[in-house]
Amino acid sequence: MTARVLDGRATAATIKAELAERVAALSARGRTPGLGTVLVGEDPGSRAYVSGKHRDCAEVGIASIRVDLPATASQADVEAAVARLNADPACTGYIVQLPLPAAVDTNAVLELIDPGKDADGLHPTNLGRLVLRVKEPVTSPLPCTPRAVLELLARHGIDLAGKDVCVVGRGTTVGRSIGLLLTRKDVNATVTLTHTGTADLAQHVRAADVVVAAAGQPGIITADMVRPGAVVLDVGVSRVVDPATGKATLRGDVDPAVADVAAWLSPNPGGVGPMTRAMLLANVVDTAERLAG
C-alpha cells in the first residue's frame, strides 16, 4: 500500500484564497487585519517560520508588524514588546514565537498577551475557554496546530467520529490541547495522549485509527508501529544537521516507510506546517471580522 497524501500545501493555498476574499471585504470597510510577531533570538528555524508568516500575510492582504529582539533581550524587553502590540490599533492579532530563550519566563509573557489579540490561542484565558467550551459572547481563537490537524482531515473528507486517535507528545502548542478539540461532540473522537513517560508507545500507536505525531523526535513513529490503513499526521519537526556537510534538513516524527502501511499520511514538510500558518491567518481574520461587527 502507498498512503494517500494529506496535502497541506495545496489545502493551505485553498484556505488562503478564501481568506483573501474576507480580508478584501474588511479592507474595503477600512478594517484591514494586522498580524504581529515577536521573535527573540537567532534560532534559524524560528526565523524561517516567522518569515513564512509574514509572506503569508502579504499574500492574503493582511498587514504585518514584525518585532525582532536579540537573544540577549531581558524579560522587561519582551514584556515591553507585548505591551506595544497590545496597545497598537493596527495589530488585530499577534504571536510570540516559541520557544523563548531560557532566561525568559514564557508563561509570564503569554499571560500578558491581550486575550482578544491572541492569534495563537495560547493565552490562559483562551485555553480555559476551550476547556469550558465557552462560545458566547466570544468564540476564542483555537490553537493553530490543533486547528490545522482538524481542518486538514476535514478537507480530505476524513471523519473522526468514533475513531481512536493516539496523540504522541504533550507539548504546549499541540499535544496538551488537541484532545480538547478532538473530543468535542461535533468531532467525537476518542483520544489517548502518550508522552516520554508512556510505558509502551508502540502498543498505543498500533491500536489507533489516527496517529498525531507531535513529539519532536525525528522518525519516532516507525512502520511496524502503525496499523495498516491508519491515518498518520506528521506534526513534529526537527532540524537535523548532517555532521559531515554541516547542512540542516527538516525531519518529521514519522519514518518515511510509514507510507507503505498507512492509508493517509501528511508529509513533513508540506503537511501540517503550511496548515498551521493558514490557521494563524484564519484566527486573525476571524478576530478582525468580529471586531468590525
Ligand X SMILES: Nc1nc(=O)c2c([nH]1)NC[C@@H]1CN(c3ccc(C(=O)N[C@@H](CCC(=O)O)C(=O)O)cc3)C=[N+]21
What number of residues does the chain have? 293
Q: Is 200 a catalytic residue?
A: no
From 7, 16, 97, 118, the catalytic residue: 97
- CB nearer to ligand X: give 61 or 269: 269
How far apart, in whole angstroms, are the C-alpha atoms of residue 245 and residue 262? 33
52-71 binders of ligand X (CB under 6 A): 52
Distances (CA, A) of 286 to 9, 68, 117, 134: 21, 25, 11, 16
C-alpha cell read off for 220: 519516532
Count of residues engaged in binding ligand X, rule: CB under 6 A: 20
CA distance 126 to 121: 6
Contacts with ligand X, 212-251, as mask; x by CB under 6 A: -------------------------x------------x-
Per CB under 6 A, does 5 bind ligand X?
no
Task: Give the containing element (helix H, strand E) for 19.
Answer: helix 8-28
Residue 157 annotated as part of some ligand binding site: no
User: What's the rounded Cα separation, in Å, for the pair 128 and 124?
Assistant: 6
Residue 169 among known ligand-binding residues: yes
Least CB distance from residue 41 to ligand X, whole Å?
12
Q: Read off the C-alpha cell for 78.
A: 519582551
Window 256-285: residues binding ligand X (CB under 6 A): 268-270, 273-274, 276-277
The reply to whether 53 belongs to the active site is yes
Strand duo 93-96 + 34-40: pairing? parallel
Q: Active site includes 16? A: no
Please spell the DSSP secondary structure of 256-282, one letter per residue: GGGGGT-SEEE-SSSSHHHHHHHHHHH
Options 44-52, 130-138, 178-186, 189-197: segment touching ligand X (CB under 6 A): 44-52
Residue position matching grid coordinates 474595503: 28
Return the active site residues: 53, 97, 120
| Binding site feature residues | 169-171, 237
Which stretches of the chain bind ligand X, using CB under 6 A?
48-49, 52, 95-98, 120, 144-145, 173, 237, 250, 268-270, 273-274, 276-277
